[in-house]
Amino acid sequence: MSKIDVYDVVIVGAGICGLITAYKLAHYKLNILVIDMNIEPGWGVSKGHAAIVHVIQLPFKSLKSKLAREGNRELLKICEYLKVRYRKTSTLLLAMNLLHLLALPLIYLYLKLNLKGEFKSRIIGRRTLRRIEPNVSDKVLAAIEVDGYAVIDSFDLIYGLYEFLKINSVHFVFGEKVVRIDFQEDFLKIYTDGGREFLSRYLVNAGGLYADEVARLLGDYVEFELGKGVMIVFEKQVSDRLLSPLTLRPDPKTKGGAVMFTWDGKGLWGPNLRIVRDKNDLSIEESDVNTIISRFSKLVKADPGIPIKAYSGIRPIPPINDFIITYSKKSRRIVNILGTESPALTSSPAIARVVLEKLKEAGLELIPREDIVERIVFHRFRDKPECGKSRLICICNRVTEEEVREAVRRGSKTLQGVMFRTGVCMGVCQGSRCLSEVIEVISDELRVKPSNITLRGGGSWIVKTS
Ligand SMILES: Cc1cc2nc3c(=O)[nH]c(=O)nc-3n(C[C@H](O)[C@H](O)[C@H](O)COP(=O)(O)OP(=O)(O)OC[C@H]3O[C@@H](n4cnc5c(N)ncnc54)[C@H](O)[C@@H]3O)c2cc1C
């Protein structure tokens, strides 16, 4: 009989919630395994968000609102520790009409009361607004500015966490789906569709959009509404702050989107919200793009330049419109993280804190480790030109050949993995200039033919062989 690996904790899902939970657990003397059905970490909902570290999430008394405010600063501390790039900013809630203007003092007081001095806010008059944000539309009458926001390089956060976890002895299984979980006396037996079996004392369901299906394997039940959101990336950012139209009747399912930007200075507008039925339906319709452009172009008078691309993600929205972090009905050795809609990226350290408390309460012993090893920083030419060891391969995003090779050495075997790790082919030309060279370098580094390289594994071939 073959030997079955035994773990203290198995985490299903290597999205931001699973990885941050693993990051916290890795600071204790535990044997941890993370399983993900994708071939690299963070390829679920965590690849299709806006990468904003939020402050305001309504209603303030909801779990997602409290955990976002708690997670906000800790996430930035984790970014600093892992040397992940981020930019601090604030949000301007823009008063677009007389009603908004009249409501402004009340909304300001409401925010001040609920943010309790943790995050500062202020009313900004029209003249000051013009001075600090000259590209804001002339139709904007005033604004409330809320501090404490940030935009992060979320791909680097995902890979930074993954690299930290690998170097600190956390085990990973990629490309295999957990399809069955059996309860044994002191253990859970976990089966994957790759034919593997693992034993674990505890299990965390961090399955994101598919956490309902993982929960069902455990005999638990939750149903998600699927809230698709589309984002449009533009050539240029038009403001130094995030711009959001003030709304007097907030929708509990969405913050309403904003004119935003990425950590590297591209414009990012959206998301909208459209309920869909299929978890794989990441299609983008003309109406999505038109809705976003008509909603947000009213806020600014500057041109954000060429729309580079649009992408979408799906939020798993549970009936209570809030995160659910609970023990399985079958056993306290299992913690389900359910309904990780926005802002679960921001909240992830606080979600993980709750998970650890639950595991501890259920008997998991947390003995601190003293041998934690730091992530080896991935130096980029873009940040430190003096670190550029080789020729530029992607002119738009200033990525060198050496960075592409380093991404492969750090574990990426697909074009998408290399793109997310380095930013190559993700600039204005979207790879039309450098794609073939990037594939050649990846194939050279992997010692395979270019025709063996796929976009994201499976049958997603890029080069056709004659
Ligand atoms: C358009 C949009 C914009 C957003 N913007 C923001 C934002 O700016 N700020 C913010 O804070 N939040 C934002 N969010 C929310 C945020 O992206 C998500 O809440 C977060 O990424 C969820 O992470 P997760 O780890 O729960 O899920 P995921 O990233 O989906 O990870 C779950 C993982 O589990 C794996 N998995 C599932 N089932 C199995 C199985 N049976 N076996 C093996 N593996 C399995 C999946 O492959 C996946 O990798 C946004 C969301 C959307 C859709």
Based on the domain organization, do 163 and 265 belong to the same domain?
A: no
Based on the domain organization, do 435 and 401 belong to the same domain?
A: yes
Q: How far is the CA of 199 from the centre of ligand 1 (A)?
A: 25
Q: How far is the CA of 46 from the centre of ligand 1 (A)?
A: 4
pLDDT in tens, the chain (466 residues): 468 899 999 999 999 999 999 999 999 999 999 999 999 999 999 998 999 999 999 999 999 999 999 999 999 999 999 999 999 999 999 999 999 999 999 999 999 999 998 999 999 999 999 999 999 999 999 999 999 999 999 999 999 999 999 999 999 999 999 999 999 989 999 999 999 999 999 999 999 999 999 999 999 999 999 999 999 999 999 999 999 999 888 787 777 899 999 999 999 999 999 999 999 999 999 999 999 999 999 999 999 999 999 999 999 999 999 999 999 999 999 999 999 999 999 999 999 999 999 999 999 999 999 999 999 988 889 888 877 678 999 999 999 999 999 999 999 999 999 999 999 999 999 999 999 999 999 999 999 999 999 999 988 999 877 6
What's the CATH number where 286 sits? 3.30.9.10
Q: How far is the CA of 208 from the centre of ligand 1 (A)?
A: 5
369 occurs within a structural domain = no
What's the CATH number where 417 sits? 1.10.10.1100
Half-sphere exposure of 3 (CA within 13 A, CB side): 3
Based on the domain organization, do 313 and 328 belong to the same domain?
A: no
Answer yes or no: is the C-beta of 14 below 6 A from any ligand 1 atom.
yes
Answer yes or no: is the C-beta of 346 below 6 A from any ligand 1 atom.
yes
Q: Which domain holds residue 92?
A: 84-152+225-317
Select from 135, 354, 379 the least CA-distant residue to 259: 135
Positive or negative, the CA dihedral 400, 39, 338, 212 is positive
Q: How far is the CA of 269 from the centre of ligand 1 (A)?
A: 19
**Among 49, 198, 309, residue to substitute to test ligand 1 (most atoms within 8 Å of Cβ):** 49
333 occurs within a structural domain = yes
Atom of ligand 1 minimally distant from the CA of 217: 41
Answer yes or no: is the C-beta of 245 below 6 A from any ligand 1 atom.
no
**Among 20, 37, 56, residue to substitute to test ligand 1 (most atoms within 8 Å of Cβ):** 37
Q: How far is the CA of 442 from the centre of ligand 1 (A)?
A: 27
For residue 73, what pLDDT is reported? 95
| Token output for 162 | 């993954």
For residue 315, what pLDDT is reported? 96
3 state SS of 223 = coil
| Token output for 389 | 């060891």
What's the CATH number where 18 sits? 3.50.50.60
Based on the domain organization, do 139 and 175 belong to the same domain?
A: no
Select from 253, 228, 252, 256 the least CA-distant residue to 242: 256
Based on the domain organization, do 210 and 310 belong to the same domain?
A: no
Q: How far is the CA of 313 from the centre of ligand 1 (A)?
A: 9
CB atoms under 10 Å from CB of 198, counted, come to 21
Based on the domain organization, do 267 and 415 belong to the same domain?
A: no
Query: In which element (H, E) is residue 6 found?
Result: strand 5-12
Atom of ligand 1 minimally distant from the CA of 192: 42
Answer yes or no: is the C-beta of 18 below 6 A from any ligand 1 atom.
yes
For residue 53, what pLDDT is reported? 98
DSSP string computed for 166-204 = HHTT-EEEES--EEEEEE-SS-EEEEETTS-EEEEEEEE
Based on the domain organization, do 233 and 307 belong to the same domain?
A: yes
For residue 2, what pLDDT is reported? 63
460 occurs within a structural domain = no
Answer yes or no: is the C-beta of 345 below 6 A from any ligand 1 atom.
yes
0.95 surpassed by pTM = yes
Domain termination residue (choose one: 265, 290, 317) = 317
392 occurs within a structural domain = yes
CA angle in degrees (0–180, nearest 5) for 171-206-217? 100
DSSP string computed for 107-149 = HHHHHHHHHTTTS-EEEE-HHHHHHH-TTB-TT--EEEEEEEE
What do you get for the CA distance between the two ends of the chain, in Å?
A: 46
Name which residue sits closest to atom 4 of ligand 1, judged by CA: 49
Q: How far is the CA of 341 from the centre of ligand 1 (A)?
A: 8
Answer yes or no: is the C-beta of 456 below 6 A from any ligand 1 atom.
no
Based on the domain organization, do 306 and 236 belong to the same domain?
A: yes
Answer yes or no: is the C-beta of 54 below 6 A from any ligand 1 atom.
yes
d(C-alpha 314, C-alpha 332), whole Å: 29
Answer yes or no: is the C-beta of 16 below 6 A from any ligand 1 atom.
yes
Q: How far is the CA of 40 from the centre of ligand 1 (A)?
A: 14
DSSP string computed for 341-357 = -TTHHHHHHHHHHHHHH
Answer yes or no: is the C-beta of 316 below 6 A from any ligand 1 atom.
no
Q: How many residues does the chain have?
A: 466
206 occurs within a structural domain = yes
380 occurs within a structural domain = no
Positive or negative, the CA dihedral 363, 345, 77, 80 is positive
Under 8 Å CB-to-CB from 369, ≥6 apart: which residues? 26, 27, 28, 29, 168
Q: How far is the CA of 340 from the centre of ligand 1 (A)?
A: 7
Q: For 43-71, write each residue's pLDDT tens digit.
A: 999 998 999 999 999 999 999 999 999 99
Based on the domain organization, do 127 and 164 belong to the same domain?
A: no
What total number of domains does the chain contain?
Answer: 3
72 occurs within a structural domain = no
What are the φ/ψ torsions at residue 57 (nearest 5 degrees)? -140, 120
Based on the domain organization, do 334 and 274 belong to the same domain?
A: no
Name which residue sits closest to atom 27 of ligand 1, judged by CA: 208
Q: What is the DSSP letter of 322?
A: S
Exposed, middle or buried: residue 410 (CB in 10 Å: 0-12, 13-18, 19+)?
middle
Alpha-carbon separation of residue 184 from 216, 223, 350, 364 (angstroms): 17, 27, 30, 17
Atom of ligand 1 minimally distant from the CA of 230: 1
373 occurs within a structural domain = no
Domain termination residue (choose one: 290, 317, 344) = 317
Q: How far is the CA of 126 from the centre of ligand 1 (A)?
A: 38
Atom of ligand 1 minimally distant from the CA of 270: 1
175: left (phi over 0), alpha (psi -120 to 50) or beta: left
CB atoms under 10 Å from CB of 108, counted, come to 17
For residue 466, what pLDDT is reported? 66
Based on the domain organization, do 192 and 325 belong to the same domain?
A: yes
Based on the domain organization, do 292 and 269 belong to the same domain?
A: yes
